[in-house]
Amino acid sequence: MTVEEVYEAAMSLPDDSKAALAERLVAYLETHDDSDFERDHLEVARRRKNEILSGQVRSIDGETVMARARELIER
């Protein structure tokens, strides 16, 4: 499978399953990469996940983000 295929399949999962998948991927990356940059990036991802799950912030799907970005670029 390509990354895009995996992403599309993951996006069809319920939100709690998406969160569980993200946690498993983060856990895997934590044990397989010890660079400071990667660790910092994973910490941001973990923090953002917690903000979304707690309701502090609302997520926006990638298609909406890209559409908004295109609108801004076209202006």
The whole-number pLDDT of residue 31 equals 78
The whole-number pLDDT of residue 10 equals 93
pLDDT in tens, 25-38: 888 877 775 677 77
What integer is the mean pLDDT of 53-69? Answer: 90
Domain enclosing residue 34, as ranges = 3-74
Q: Give the position of tokens 């991927």.
A: 25
Question: Among 44, 48, 70, which residue's Cα sits nearest to residue 58?
Answer: 48
The count of structural domains within the chain is 1
pTM score = 0.44
Residue 18 φ then ψ, to 5°? -60, -45
pLDDT in tens, 2-13: 989 999 999 999
Question: Among 4, 39, 42, 5, which residue's Cα sits nearest to residue 23?
Answer: 42
